[in-house]
Amino acid sequence: MTVETALCLLAAGKGTRMRSDLPKVLHQVAGLPMFAHALNSGKGCNPSRIVIVTGHQSARVAEAAQAVAPGAVCVEQSPQLGTGHAVQMAAPPLADFEGDVFILYGDTPLILPETLERMAGKRRAGAAVVVLGFNAADPAGYGRLITDDNGGLDRIVEAKEASPEELQVTLCNSGVMCVDSRTLFRLLDNVTNDNAKGEYYLTDVVGLARAEGLACAVVECGEDETMGVDSRVNLAEAEAAFQNRTRLAAMERGVTMIAPETVFFSHDTQIEADVIIEPNVVFGPGVHVAGGATLRAFSHLEGCTVHSGAVIGPYARLRPGADIGENAKIGNFVEVKAATFGKGAKANHLTYVGDATIGAGANIGAGTITCNYDGFNKHKTQIGAGAFIGSNSALVAPAQIGDGAIIAAGSVITRPVEADALAVARGIQANKPGLAAKLREKLKAMKEYRNKT
């Protein structure tokens, strides 16, 4: 029997230690707000409902949530009286829901979908409450997961209330849970705030469930997966952990990275096998690179597609809308935006190509600019297959260059150029014999006069 799932994401905290006007859960890891990472992991469980519990700057968080999960229901926790109280805020929108509820955290962005699937498996095996735990190198203030002789979860003890013996336990509570919905909200109704903080602890549902004879279980994962972010230092640590994980996964898929520690991925970067990535390449959101492409050092890619065999860089920038065809070459200090390069087309150096279509085999010379913006609107440049654009040319859009046409170096093109035509659009050169020597003498005399006065 298929069991429905729902996500309850807790995103109410202010994040005082972030020292920021931005709500904590909206700070980004790999170009995506932290809460969205948690949601994306939860989406692997195919939830039929998503409830996001907001608090600090509730409207701002809710707006961001709708952009990531349009069907999500946002509820506000005010006042904020602990994690148990936060989950209770989700009770009304889940009143008629029957299935498993995953409780996730907006400041814990590194949980893997596979981990949540293992938790769902424990639920299907009969545990009423499943808790995600990890063995901490330094348990410090973490809540401890106390297991029974059979490995089942007996109770969760907060560090401030743990005995010396319990503090020796290294199996710690991540806060992430999977609980049958009816059981969850029934037990939460019996949670009290009789504790050191005067809050309603979500963790108390384990003890209440055990008191009823219900089975509780633990699923373990690596400590880095449960990393919570409370400060800018933590944010940098989460970014580093995400990048290390992503680099390793890319190399295991067949991507070559010469200096992987210098390559930075976005949350959604797609790199196929047999891509070579040289040092110091940075990916913004929305990049897909096909197998066999080479990304040379110090290049930046965002919102673009790179096809098989293409070579990008070094020091190239691909902006949103760039589509680089098979075996095309985008060289050093070339910027491409909203432009398509056909198979084998080249712009090897010092060029800006924006809002353009470049035909197969065309060559764009150094210093070429597509003048695409008139201060109000963008205009398109079309360059035909096999065309040759000479160095230091300016193509004033809208511009049409036919197949096989040649643009002479230094030209400013303002009219269409038909196929196979040679276009020359520059001033006529005039040589003045001896004038350079006379000019030097005059300038020298002027300088000496200024120095004397």
Q: Show which residues are catalytic.
A: 349
Q: ∠ CA 51-176-211 to the nearest 5 degrees?
A: 105
In a 3-state reduction of DSSP, which class is residue 224? helix
E-strand stretches of 342-402: 346-358, 363-364, 369-371, 381-383, 388-389, 394-396, 399-401
Q: Would you tell me how many other CB atoms lie within 10 Å of the CB of residue 353? A: 28
Q: What is the DSSP string of 389-407?
A: E-TT-EEESSEEE-TT-EE
Name residue 357's beta-bridge partners.
Answer: 340, 382
N residues, the chain: 453
Amino acid letter for position 51: V
Q: ∠ CA 339-343-348 to the nearest 5 degrees?
A: 65
Distance in angstroms (rounded) separating the CA atoms of residues 162 and 253:
45
Cβ-contact 411, 393 below 8 angstroms: yes
Sequence-distant (≥ 6) Cβ neighbours of residue 125 within 8 angstroms? 217
Name residue 104's beta-bridge partners.
Answer: 9
Distance in angstroms (rounded) separating the CA atoms of residues 309 and 26:
38
Long-range contacts at 388-392 (CB < 8 A, ≥ 24 apart): 388/362, 388/363, 389/362, 389/363, 389/364, 389/365, 390/365, 391/365, 391/366, 391/367, 392/365, 392/366, 392/367, 392/368
Q: What phi, psi does 92 have (nearest 5°)?
A: -60, -50
